[in-house]
Amino acid sequence: MEKRQDTKRMKHTVSLPPSEKRKMRYVKLNVLPDDILLTVRQGETILEALQNAGIEAGMEIEGDCGGLGKCGKCKVRVLSALDSPSPEEEGLLDEEELNQGIRLACRTKIEKDLVFYAGETEPGLEYHQVLETGYRPLFQLDPLLSQQLITLSLSSEEEGGLADLERIKLMLGPEYKDIRASLHCLRKLPQTLAKTHFRGSAVFHDNCLLDWQDWEKGQQRCGLVFDLGTSTLVGKLINLQDGSEVVVLSCVNSQMKHGSNVISRLQYINEHVHGLERLHNLLIKDLNRITERLLELGGLEADDIFIAVAVGNTTMQHFLLGVPPYGIAEAPFPPVVIDGLVVKAADVGLRLHPEAVLYTMPIRSGYIGGDLISDILVSEAAEQQEEIVLGLDLGTNGEIFLGNGKRLLTCSAAAGPALEGAKISRGMIARAGAIEGVSLQDGQLHYRIIGNIQPIGICGSGLVDLTAILLDIGIIDYEGLIHRIRKRDATPLVHRIISRGGVNDFLIASAEESYDNRPIYLTQKDIRQLQLAKAAIAAGINTLMDEMGIGVQDINRVYLAGALGNYVNPISAIRIGLLPKVRPEIIWSLGNAASTGASMVLLSKEHWRKAATLAQFIEHIELSYRVDFNQYFIEHMDFPEDSKK
Amino acid sequence: MEKRQDTKRMKHTVSLPPSEKRKMRYVKLNVLPDDILLTVRQGETILEALQNAGIEAGMEIEGDCGGLGKCGKCKVRVLSALDSPSPEEEGLLDEEELNQGIRLACRTKIEKDLVFYAGETEPGLEYHQVLETGYRPLFQLDPLLSQQLITLSLSSEEEGGLADLERIKLMLGPEYKDIRASLHCLRKLPQTLAKTHFRGSAVFHDNCLLDWQDWEKGQQRCGLVFDLGTSTLVGKLINLQDGSEVVVLSCVNSQMKHGSNVISRLQYINEHVHGLERLHNLLIKDLNRITERLLELGGLEADDIFIAVAVGNTTMQHFLLGVPPYGIAEAPFPPVVIDGLVVKAADVGLRLHPEAVLYTMPIRSGYIGGDLISDILVSEAAEQQEEIVLGLDLGTNGEIFLGNGKRLLTCSAAAGPALEGAKISRGMIARAGAIEGVSLQDGQLHYRIIGNIQPIGICGSGLVDLTAILLDIGIIDYEGLIHRIRKRDATPLVHRIISRGGVNDFLIASAEESYDNRPIYLTQKDIRQLQLAKAAIAAGINTLMDEMGIGVQDINRVYLAGALGNYVNPISAIRIGLLPKVRPEIIWSLGNAASTGASMVLLSKEHWRKAATLAQFIEHIELSYRVDFNQYFIEHMDFPEDSKK
């Protein structure tokens, strides 16, 4: 746990713009229903935080009194636990409102992570936890998109009939003599030059002039990053001048209704004539929706965005492009294309500038996708020559990498969706109401719940914590069976074991304790699902170690990424055997490394080249062909014996 | 005149495929209403010629008897003068049919250039003279489009899950390792690979796989060339494997209705909000219509064509791209773009393969367009180090180049449309019924008429010939006035001089002698128009010679291109002062050099690079800024005195 705090501190040092690097404490503010996640200064009021982020206009919660607590119009509905209302709030709000969590944005100080709803209607539960960017290596900014602020002479007379494009080249100097211009740009160039009075921002991609825009547009040039998760889509608006994240949004991947994982979606497109088209369109619709909100919150228009980088697993990247991934459904799982692509964003249906360019991350194979390449890029594993790095991206599939710049092995272990909460009776993804962490204090379980509300279910990191604790106190044995054990440690919790049809389940929260008044259990079946998942990951790690000819003691660093990887307690993960027995202090969280890697590409051509090299360099070990993997898988079904005994 | 026959012999030697290089005489066969121009062997029957060209199916004139002259079903209507009908024809056709020129295609031998109508309806006069390709330098074929015939193993199993595109790269070997694929291609690649049983033709442009097609499609891969004349559009289907011209078609540029020259069209778009859009659309519609017929006659489909090269003057190339050429209307005449462009053909509206690529020729300035760059490319003037080359592209504008690889000057002289037949009372472009040549035999004028029919009017080359003859015999004096002169030479023609309102006109053909029963005159006003046109050209040449510091005697070679340039009699052109007084044997015709240059680019990447270099290398002398030009212009209004006297 200490390690994780270390990591968090590091995150801020690296990912925030220099001006923010003062010794301040930061907390997360989550704004519903738009699902905006902000990192704000502890102690700010909600109104200040929104104003500092420049998004108050979109929110329409600003009152008339200028934040003095007098008009009572900046009402918000806070979902997280709150301190007592301020005197102003007690005066301006009635008791029912106060009980419902209604507060004034100008009076509510943000002391810890806080979720609130900026509107009058019932929030529902649309909020998801967006992984923080987390660790991002330092690098020189050299974005895929470049621009120049240019002033031309007002008329071409003095340049003797020089063509419009030639005048721009002349002004830019010899190194720009080979630039081209897109047809779209040429078609409106005379008009835009005249309209901007020959003073504007020339936007280039790869030596091609995409547009000539108002000078002012060039002052805050942004790009987009899309992280195409199987369950969750994340969009980030990134400032190309300083590399900062301007706005981050996420939403459930609408493809979920046609299958919760890659396999079931591949099955869906195989069985439906227009299946691929439908999944492609759903994805594009989601991304356009995210983009629209990102732009609205960032004060930009679609025409201002010329560049986007998308990352996801191999199948998701094929869905994005509308390229049929049928082959990935069956061994040997061939995709259609593995190169990182550069296409017109409009050609896949994204509504950005008509000439905007979309990059997709390079891929290694059917199950080693752009997301793992991103992870490796962020981890800088390939820059290491001596140290051995183990990396895990834990989502529906567990992707693993092991090695360094001399040799880097990768594999994909079908962990199943248990680690993301699916197939667990009250499992859920990491969103408001999910138990994301469990601790044992004075013989009682304490839950950390996303959004600080009553629990609705349990997500992967909570499941791992809870299982680790129940293993420690003997309620779960090494084979995974729940026992009514009579040990001293277990006594205060034994009453939570409920026998149903000859099988024991563990009551996490009673009907009264839960958000929706339905009891939450950890069932015997849930534990079996977890065992299958963690066995697959552990066996994958063992197989790579064998292939590399090393043991656990040779691993110098472990990187965790992905939905679970970022939030799991490393000690709990080791306890249940999901991770090998390494020293917890060598375990680092990479945060949402997939999107971080994509933004590194967006911000630096060097990383785009590196990603391509990486995709060629890494070796892919296909586990389904390995006898040793199957052997390890069976061995790892059991939980490890408690090492403390 | 002798020189011109030399040139023609040379043309055949160079431009026909090797198998055709036997000692044979060729004549031109023109098929209406599709306006197909074929070069066929003298003495073949019409049916044989069509069958040899592989276009009989489209014509539906094939009878039932297999060409034995028995069924009488292969009727065609011949417009040219004919020998007596064959006995079979006399038996199978009635007298009215014979009088109308109806013949049997299987019995009609083609002894000289022949125009016929392959159908029952009235032909109208849709036939235009398409310039022959003419001289084309020899070069190594290295087309802009490349393809590979590939057989992959049937399944990817043995290649361990390799991506489809990677399998293609692997088969092609290391030099293809960096190829990309278009999104369109990737989207259907799995299906097309399966459909072709993994054996097909991979089509590449610039390292990008555009499509995977049937093996057979790769056997005759063609590209297109478009010559965007202000009055006439020409399309050529070119075989990329041997460089031969498969089919050539032309049509009137439908933009004519919005102005017969560049200036009036620029005026049109300035005065109409959707003017540019309308002119662009008219052009694209024409080009698509030409393409459709070219493909039909070539037995190909739109999906088979991946590459096209377009050439024209600066304004026409802007119209093609839909890029607004407003600037070209006024000094200093700036265009928007001068680079040769590479765009998606679909983006300008051309209906070829969805991924087809369109190249446009590089440009020098507002009035030195891709057509002149083409001319220079064909002339190889820039390859000369010592010889001085003068080149003229004579159309509505006269473009002139002078120099060699050390220095190459260009200018554009607004000759006006007189040389193309416009503004001449019975002037017309070179199409059926136009008097294209005039000679004096035994004191009588003999006319050479396109299509061997009765005359309808006179085109540029006929006008120059006629004027030269009338100058020689004194009916026109050096100031351009028509006189009732009493010289012996003139006597037989004097009765043709008609006084009308105090001005003399010259009767070319009486009502009875003409096709449409309307007399054809050369009016005093016509001669004034010609004087203006030739003065502009001659003054342009003088200005360039001054700039270069040379005299007429320093010119080693003169190249003629363009509608008039190709057909004008050089001796007549010198006589009227259109050309400087050089020895006629140094004058060469380049044929339709604009389209020849474009096909050289289509067939060789080296020429594409050369064209770009040329456009940068040549100097543009803007005549409107030159005092010496105006001086020369006035001097050249008179015709030269007859040097023979």
Decide if A425 contacts A525 (C-beta within 8 A): yes
Q: Which residue has the tokens 């030639």?
A: A166
Q: Which two tokens stand for residue A473?
A: 């106190």
pLDDT at A119: 59
Residue A321 with chain B: CB contacts under 8 Å: 183, 186-187
3-state secondary structure of A281: helix
Rank A317-321, B12-16, B152-156, B490-494 by mean pLDDT and report only the highest: A317-321
Reference A118, options A170, A41, A53, A175; nearest CA is A53
Q: How far apart are CA A496 and CA A444, in angstroms?
A: 11
Give a three-class secondary structure readout of A387-437: CCEEEEEECCCEEEEEECCCCEEEEEECCCHHHHCCCCCCECCCECCEEEE
For every residue of A549-604, DSSP letters joined together read T--GGG--EEEEEHHHHHHS-HHHHHHTTSS-S--GGGEEE-SSHHHHHHHHHHHB
For every residue of A20-84, DSSP letters joined together read G-SS--EEEEEEETTTEEEEEETT-BHHHHHHHTT-HHHHT---SSSSSS-S---EEEE-S---P
- CA distances A443 to A253, A455, A469, A491, A616, Å, are 40, 20, 11, 8, 52
CA distance B324 to chain A (A): 6
Decide if A450 contacts A421 (C-beta within 8 A): no
CA distance B348 to chain A (A): 9
Decide if pLDDT at B12 tops 70. no
Per this entry, what is the length of chain A?
645
Reference B467, options B523, B543, B545; nearest CA is B523
Decide if B177 contacts B189 (C-beta within 8 A): no
pLDDT at A159: 62
Decide if pLDDT at B2 tops 70. no
Answer yes or no: do B180 and A343 touch at CB < 8 A: no
pLDDT at B62: 65
pLDDT in tens, B180-191: 999 999 999 999
pLDDT at A90: 85
Q: How far apart are CA B37 and CA B34, in angstroms?
A: 9
Reference B518, options B457, B595, B559, B607; nearest CA is B457
Q: Which two tokens stand for residue B137?
A: 């330098």
DSSP structural state of residue A641: P
pLDDT at B27: 78
Lowest mean pLDDT among A103-112, B189-198, B235-244, B260-269: A103-112
Report, as an integer, the average pLDDT of B476-501. 85
Residue B183 with chain A: CB contacts under 8 Å: 321-323, 341, 343, 347-348
Euclidean distance between the first and the last CA atom of chain B, given in angstroms as a whole number:
22
pLDDT at B134: 61
Answer yes or no: do A163 and B189 touch at CB < 8 A: no
Decide if B198 contacts B213 (C-beta within 8 A): no
Decide if B34 contacts B297 (C-beta within 8 A): yes
Q: How far apart are CA A136 and CA A593, in angstroms?
A: 8
pLDDT at A11: 26
How many angstroms from the chain centroid is the CA of residue B595? 6
Residue A165 with chain B: CB contacts under 8 Å: 336-339
Q: How far apart are CA A34 and CA A247, in angstroms?
A: 11
How many angstroms from the chain centroid is the CA of residue A597? 11
Residue A343 with chain B: CB contacts under 8 Å: 183
Answer yes or no: do A163 and B338 touch at CB < 8 A: yes
In degrees rounded to 5, what are phi and psi of residue A589? Answer: -95, 135
Share of chain B above pLDDT 70, in %: 89
Residue B164 with chain A: CB contacts under 8 Å: 327, 334-337
Rank A140-154, A229-243, B373-387, B392-406 by mean pLDDT and report only the highest: B373-387
Answer yes or no: do A186 and B323 touch at CB < 8 A: yes
Per this entry, what is the length of chain B?
645
Decide if pLDDT at B125 tops 50. no
pLDDT at B14: 27
More confident residue, B565 or A518: A518
Answer yes or no: do A336 and B163 touch at CB < 8 A: yes
Q: Which residues, including other chains, have CB under 8 Å from residue B326's CB and lie 6 or more apart?
A: A190, B266, B269, B270
Answer yes or no: do B366 and A161 touch at CB < 8 A: yes
Give 10-residue mean pLDDT values along chain A (645 residues): 31 33 65 68 84 56 74 80 81 81 86 74 38 70 93 68 92 91 96 93 96 90 95 92 88 87 92 95 95 90 97 97 94 93 97 98 96 96 96 87 98 79 82 89 90 86 95 93 78 88 92 89 95 95 97 96 84 96 93 92 97 96 90 95 62
Q: What is the ipTM of this complex?
A: 0.78
Cα dihedral sign, A513-A515-A516-A519: negative
- Average pLDDT across chain B, whole number: 86
A190, A324, A347: residue with CB nearest B327: A190
B160, B347, B622: residue with CB nearest A332: B160
Decide if pLDDT at B260 tops 70. yes
For every residue of B362-425, DSSP letters joined together read ---SSSS-HHHHHHHHHHTGGG-SSS-EEEEEESSSEEEEEE-SS-EEEEEE---GGGGTTTST
Answer yes or no: do B183 and A337 touch at CB < 8 A: no
Answer yes or no: do A161 and B332 touch at CB < 8 A: yes
- CA distances B229 to A35, A379, B320, B378, B635, Å, are 59, 60, 11, 17, 31
Residue A180 with chain B: CB contacts under 8 Å: 339, 341
More confident residue, A94 or B581: B581
pLDDT at B296: 87
Decide if pLDDT at B451 tops 80. no
Reference B234, options B289, B277, B282; nearest CA is B289
pLDDT in tens, B273-315: 999 999 999 999 999 999 998 998 889 999 999 999 999 999 9
Answer yes or no: do B183 and A365 touch at CB < 8 A: no
Answer yes or no: do A164 and B334 touch at CB < 8 A: yes
Q: Which two tokens stand for residue A526?
A: 């849930």
CA distance A191 to chain B (A): 9
pLDDT at B331: 84
Share of chain B above pLDDT 90, in %: 57
Q: How far apart are CA B7 and CA B13, in angstroms?
A: 10
Q: Which residues, including other chains, have CB under 8 Å from residue A351's CB and lie 6 or more apart?
A: A288, A291, A292, A302
pLDDT in tens, B422-444: 788 898 877 778 899 999 998 89
